[in-house]
């Protein structure tokens, strides 16, 4: 079933705030081998001017994945997750994510395109604090593989 084109431009309701925990940042930083003290030690982050430990740049994928569940579980969109591979990802930061942040995600379906039998779904997630301070904007492009094509093939 092809993706429902009427979703282009659709904005989903804001998510409940994602509470950024200090230990979650440490766990994520450890998992990617990022041992910079600012990711682990509040004093090191404070020396850089932040109230608590800061998150590595790709940490923001965690709240966006939770926000995208809304699309994944929406039968009207027709996203077959078993055929999905990750295409592109981009983060545009206003400031780093800091432990103690509450992050509200607003997901917009930016584009649905088709090429060579595959469909491409691009979402933009605006991540801000509950008071509206922008933190980071995240673009995610998923590739929905067509028919018999195997996953992970080369793309231009």
> Rounded distance, CA 37 to CA 45, Å?
7
Measure the N-to-C terminal CA separation of the chain; round to a whole number of Å: 25
**Burial degree of 3 (CB within 10 A; 0-12, 13-18, 19+):** buried
Min. distance of Cβ 13 from another protein in angstroms?
Answer: 21
Min. distance of Cβ 130 from another protein in angstroms?
Answer: 22
Nearer to another protein, 76 or 154 (CB): 154
> Rounded distance, CA 130 to CA 115, Å?
38
Contacts with another protein by CB under 8 A lie at: 24, 27-28, 30-39, 44, 47-48, 50, 54, 56-58, 61-62, 65-66, 82, 85-93, 96, 139, 150-152, 154-156
Min. distance of Cβ 6 from another protein in angstroms?
Answer: 27
Nearer to another protein, 12 or 45 (CB): 45
Q: How far is CA 110 from each of CA 50, 95, 98, 147, 155, rounded to the nearest angstrom?
A: 33, 23, 27, 24, 21
Nearer to another protein, 86 or 115 (CB): 86
Min. distance of Cβ 97 from another protein in angstroms?
Answer: 10
């Amino acid at each position: 079933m092809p993706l429902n084109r009427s979703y282009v431009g659709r904005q989903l309701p804001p998510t409940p705030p994602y509470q950024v925990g200090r230990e979650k940042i440490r766990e994520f930083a450890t998992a990617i081998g990022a041992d910079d003290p600012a990711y682990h030690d509040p004093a090191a982050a404070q020396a850089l001017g932040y109230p608590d430990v800061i998150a590595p740049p790709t940490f923001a994928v965690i709240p966006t994945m939770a926000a995208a569940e809304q699309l994944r579980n929406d039968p009207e969109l027709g996203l077959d997750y078993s055929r999905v591979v990750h295409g592109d990802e981009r983060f545009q930061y206003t400031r780093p994510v800091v432990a103690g942040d509450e992050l509200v995600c607003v997901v917009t379906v930016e584009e649905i395109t088709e090429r060579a039998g595959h469909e491409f779904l691009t979402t933009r997630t605006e991540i801000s604090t509950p008071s509206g301070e922008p933190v980071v904007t995240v673009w995610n492009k998923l590739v929905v593989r067509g028919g018999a094509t195997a996953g992970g093939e080369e793309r231009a």
